[in-house]
Structure 1
Amino acid sequence: MEKLLSNGAGYRTVPERFIFPLEKRPGKEVNLSITLPVINLRGGEVNGVDHDEIVKEIMEAGKAFGFFQVVNHGVAEQVINDMIVVSEDFFKMPMEDKAPYYSEDSSKTNRLLASTMYGKDGTFYWRDCLKLACYPVEEGIHEWPEKPSNLKDVLAKFIVEVRGVAMKLLKLICDGLGLKEDYFEGDLSGGQVLINANYYAPCPDPSLTLGLPPHCDRNLITLLVQGVVSGLQINHKGSWIGIEPIPNAFVVNFGHQLEIISNGVLKSVEHRAVTNSSVSRTSVATFIMPAMDSLIAPAQPLIGENNPPLYKSFLFKDFLSVYYDVAGKREGVLEAYKFQS
Structure 2
Amino acid sequence: MENMIHSTPSHTSLPDCFVFPADQVLPASSAVVSLPVIDMSRSRDEVRRAILNAGKELGFFQVINHGISEQAMQDMAAVGEEFFRLPAADKVELCSEDVTKGTQLFSGTTYETGGERYWRDCLRFAYDFPVGNCTKDWPDKPHRLLEVVENFTLLTRGLAMELLRLLCEGMGLPLDYFEGHLGGGYVTLDINHYPACPNPSITLGLPPHCDRDLMAVLLPGQVPGLEVAYNGDWIKVQPVSRAFVVNFGQQLEVVTNGTLKSVEHRVMTNSALARTSVAMFIAPTEDCFIGPAAEFVSEENPPCYHTLRFRDFKRIYNVVKLGSSLNLRTNLRKVQKET
Contact 1:326 1:333 survives alignment (8 Å): no
CA distance in 2, matches of 1:5, 1:250: 26
Q: Is 1:305 matched with 2:302?
A: no
* Residue matched to 1:32: 31
Three-state SS of the structure 1 residue aligned to 2:123 is strand
Of 237, 240, 245, 2:239 maps to 245
Could you tell me how far 1:304 is from its partner in structure 2?
Answer: 1.6
1:223-274 Cα distance to aligned partner (Å, 9 max, x none): 0000111100000111100001112211000000000000100000000000
Stretches of structure 1 lacking an aligned partner (at least 5 in a row):
none
CA distance in 2, matches of 1:37, 1:7: 37
Three-state SS of the structure 2 residue aligned to 1:240 is strand
1:27-73 Cα distance to aligned partner (Å, 9 max, x none): 2242431100000111xxx7xxx111111100100011000000100
Q: Is 1:167 matched with 2:161?
A: yes
TM-score by length of 1: 0.94
* Residue matched to 1:13: 13
1:195-245 Cα distance to aligned partner (Å, 9 max, x none): 110000000000110000000001000000001111000001111000011
CA distance in 2, matches of 1:97, 1:177: 48
Q: Is 1:279 matched with 2:273?
A: yes
Contact 1:103 1:113 survives alignment (8 Å): yes
Contact 2:225 2:269 survives alignment (8 Å): yes
Of 165, 174, 178, 1:180 maps to 174
Q: Is 1:260 matched with 2:254?
A: yes
Q: Is 1:227 matched with 2:226?
A: no
Three-state SS of the structure 2 residue aligned to 1:196 is strand
Could you tell me how far 1:332 is from its partner in structure 2?
Answer: 4.5
* Residue matched to 1:334: 329
Of 284, 292, 299, 2:286 maps to 292
Of 127, 148, 162, 2:120 maps to 127
CA distance in 2, matches of 1:149, 1:111: 18
Relative distance call for 1:185 and 1:235 in structure 2 (3 A) is same
Three-state SS of the structure 2 residue aligned to 1:30 is coil
Relative distance call for 1:338 and 1:67 in structure 2 (3 A) is farther
TM-score by length of 2: 0.94
Could you tell me how far 1:314 is from its partner in structure 2?
Answer: 0.6
1:257-301 Cα distance to aligned partner (Å, 9 max, x none): 000000100000000000010110000000001000001010112
How do 1:137-176 and structure 2 match up within 5 A?
137-176=131-170
Contact 1:231 1:243 survives alignment (8 Å): yes
Deviation larger for 329-338 or 126-135? 329-338
Relative distance call for 1:291 and 1:146 in structure 2 (3 A) is same
Could you tell me how far 1:119 is from its partner in structure 2?
Answer: 4.9
Deviation larger for 300-309 or 123-132? 300-309
* Residue matched to 1:116: 109
Which amino acid counterpart does residue 240 of structure 1 have in structure 2?
Answer: W
- The count of corresponding residues between Structure 1 and Structure 2 is 333
Three-state SS of the structure 2 residue aligned to 1:265 is coil
The ranges of structure 1 where at least 4 consecutive aligned residues each deviate by more than 3 angstroms after the TM superposition are none
* Residue matched to 1:213: 207
Relative distance call for 1:250 and 1:150 in structure 2 (3 A) is same
Of 322, 329, 332, 2:316 maps to 322
Could you tell me how far 1:105 is from its partner in structure 2?
Answer: 1.8
CA distance in 2, matches of 1:11, 1:23: 24
Three-state SS of the structure 2 residue aligned to 1:248 is coil
CA distance in 2, matches of 1:323, 1:112: 21
* Residue matched to 1:65: 58
